[in-house]
Structure 1
Amino acid sequence: MVVRSIEKLKASNIRITPQRYAVLEYLIEAHSHPTADEIYRSLVERFPNISVATVYNNLRLFTKIGFVEEMTYGDGSSRFDFASTQHYHAICENCGKIEDIYYPGLDDVAEVTHNLTGFTVTRHRMEVYGICPECQEKLDVVKN
């Protein structure tokens, strides 16, 4: 996945700096929908000269070229998701954990929307909110 993404960057004449590579690699391998600050904290030991601005600039670039989806929420935070395939998200209302949902039954959402409304769909996202298993377990312990 990293190699294919790097090839796409090179084909677009985007320079591959060690920091850019590290941010992309982190996003691909993390599977955790990190914030820019989380990415920064995970990379600063390996790259002492990296700045939060460098992380944000690379995330902005990756979002612009379609590698990454920026997910914004009501609390003003942005989380970033390497967007290799269309998928959706289950979000814990207690701890904020985000899990990917791959559900082929939703593949035709854009087409159905177009057929029903006439909209030309440029993008879509779906979020399902609830309580994750870990938080359910903690809440059960508190109740008992």
Structure 2
Amino acid sequence: MDAIGILKQLKNKGVRFTPQRQAILEFLLQTVSHPTADEIYHHVKANFPGVSLGTIYNTLNMLKEHGHILELSYGDMSSRFDGNPQNHYHVVCSKCGKVVDLHRPLIDMDQEVMEKSGFIILGHRMEFYGICPECRQGEQFN
């Protein structure tokens, strides 16, 4: 869904949208970099110098709660945000933290996991870890 469609949907739910919130949403929809809140803040601040980090976090939380973005948490690293809320896989660089989408069919294991664990599965997330091409330059990896 594009930014206009999301904005209309949120407006129908009573969510007020400011130009700063729209800039946050548009940035997430057009980037493939899976930025941190701090990176989003610096990008939006270039056009809206008065924007606060609180506005960034509040907007990200609201967009996540309404299912329009994903938050990718990595333990002690900063969360990263993905403008594509559809279930998909990621590859994460263990050196620099870069996250990229992995485009491949989803593995449908939810039913098998439910049967073996007794859990009701609400979804799953799979990520691969490695060293990105930029970090590998000049280093030897097997």
Identity percentage of aligned residues = 43
Partner SS state of residue 17, structure 2: coil
Root-mean-square deviation over aligned CA pairs:
1.7
4+ runs deviating over 3 angstroms = none
**Which residue in the other structure is 2:126 paired with?**
126
Partner SS state of residue 138, structure 2: helix
**Which residue in the other structure is 1:57 paired with?**
58
Aligned length: 140
Rounded Cα–Cα distance in structure 1 between residues aligned with 2:109 and 2:4: 31
**Which residue in the other structure is 2:136 paired with?**
136
TM-score in terms of structure 2 length: 0.89
Name stretches of at least 5 consecutive residues in structure 1 with no aligned partner.
none
Rounded Cα–Cα distance in structure 2 between residues aligned with 1:131 and 1:63: 28
Rounded Cα–Cα distance in structure 2 between residues aligned with 1:112 and 1:100: 25
Equivalent residues in 2 for 1:61-140, closer than 5 Å: 61-106=62-107, 108-140=108-140
Q: Are 1:13 and 2:14 matched, yes or no?
A: yes
How far off is 1:98 after superposition?
0.6
TM-score in terms of structure 1 length: 0.88
Is 1:32–1:98's contact at 8 Å kept on the other side of the alignment?
yes
* Larger displacement relative to structure 2 (82-91 or 112-121): 112-121
As a proportion of its length, which structure holds more helix? 1
Rounded Cα–Cα distance in structure 2 between residues aligned with 1:78 and 1:87: 17
